[in-house]
Each structure stands twice: as C-alpha cells, then as structure tokens.
Amino acid sequence: MRGISRGAAPQPAEEKAQLLQNSEYQERMVESTFLYLTLDLPTAPLYKDEKEQLIIPQVPLFSILAKFNGSTEKEYKTYKENFLKRFQLTRLPPYLIFCIKRFTKNNFFVEKNPTIVNFPITNVDLREYLLEEVQAAHAHTTYDLIANIVHDGKPSEGSYRIHVLHHGTGKWYELQDLQVTDILPQMITLSEAYIQIWKRREEDETNQQGA
C-alpha cells in the first residue's frame, strides 16, 4: 500500500497550489505493508425521524473503499501538526481483511457508530484501487466474501456473531457461542459488520454463494 502525506492546506484550489510550493506542504510518499485495511465510516446523524425513532444510516461499501483510490484525502491530527493523507494499493493478496472502524475512544468512554454498510456478497472488483502501473500484473482482482464478524449492542455490553461460508456447499452459517444456524446471504448485508474476510478469485468460475 502506498501512502502520500503532506501538511494540511486550505481547500480552495488556487491557495492549495500556492502552498504546495512551500517545503512544509511538500508531498511525501511511503510504501508500507498491511495486515488489514481500515475502512472509515461517515459520522452517524444524531437526529430522529418523524416517528421519533433513531435513524440508522447506511453507506455503500464502495463509498468507504474510496479511501484507497489514490485521490481521496483524509485529515490526520497530532499534538504538533495536521496533515493530509491519501492511499492506493500496490498489490492485492489472495485474502483481504476489512476492519470497519465502528468504535471511537475518547478520554471518557467508547462510542460506537451503528451505520450499516451495504455490500455485495460476491464479485467485488478492486482493480480501480490499484496503482495504474501495477494493474497489468494483476490478472485477478475480484473478491468474494467468506467470513463476516458482526458486533451487536453497546460497545461495553455487546456481543459478536460470525457468518461463515461453507465452501463445499456454498451455504452460509451463523455462529454465536456454540449455536450454529443457517442464514440467507441477504440477511448478512443487514448486520453491523465489523471485520470481513474476502477471498480473491484465481480463475473464472461459477459462483454458487447466492445474493
């Protein structure tokens, strides 16, 4: 994965272009390995709908994957400085782990973002998140979901469920403690996904996972 960072600059294009001439705002490129990709959720709204019920926001998977398109900038703050980063992938491994950032910790407590991520179970093509110069070296860039870890409830009192694909039958199962039940692929996408494992397709094949 390649990360490019620089000092934070104002958004207007003319001012940004001018500040980029200064050494303080020069871009710095770093390549680093990764164990998983952290996907940031948008801030959940705090308002209620007309029936006085809390609104559960939703976001498409590809919207939060845009963090790795090489052009989306994200601001990071430290005690000493602010800087912007943008990311792009330099290679795609056989398996990818997504960690959806639901928990935010401050000095007093941990908050959980309940936003639902809408994602397909199969055929997620990540070619556009690769550097152009390495795309030709990747014959296969399509992934299928094989495991989905869900967090239910409050940050301090919640519980976990796991959705696992049985490769031999193409059926999905839900595991919680010692309980194992069948689950439809459509139901997996309605959960508060926390960690996902995706498997790369190595060849064109007929997928029988459904959804």
What are the tens digits of pLDDT across the range 28-59? 788 888 899 999 999 876 666 665 566 788 99
Q: Which of 43-47, 70-74, 129-133 has the highest mean pLDDT?
A: 129-133
Instruction: Determine, yes or no, domain membership for 18.
Output: no
CA distance to 99, 117, 134, 152, 168, per residue, from 155 (Å) = 16, 18, 40, 8, 35
pLDDT, position 207? 47
Instruction: Determine, yes or no, domain membership for 38.
Output: yes
- pLDDT at residue 80 above 80? no
Instruction: Determine, yes or no, domain membership for 90.
Output: yes
Instruction: Determine, yes or no, domain membership for 210.
Output: no
Asked whether 194 and 149 are in contact (CB, 8 A), the reply is yes
97-106 pLDDT, tens digit each: 999 999 988 7
> Residue 178: which CATH number?
3.90.70.10
Instruction: Determine, yes or no, domain membership for 22.
Output: no
The count of domains in the chain is: 1
Helix (H, G, I), strand (E, B) or coil at 129: helix
Asked whether 161 and 191 are in contact (CB, 8 A), the reply is yes
Q: Token pair of 110, please? A: 């941990």
User: Which of 66, 99, 98, 89 lies closest to 138, judged by CA?
Assistant: 89
State the residue range of the domain holding 154.
2-9+27-46+54-200
Instruction: Determine, yes or no, domain membership for 19.
Output: no
pLDDT, position 166? 96
144-170 pLDDT, tens digit each: 999 999 999 888 888 999 999 999 999
Instruction: Determine, yes or no, domain membership for 73.
Output: yes
pLDDT, position 155? 85
Instruction: Determine, yes or no, domain membership for 155.
Output: yes
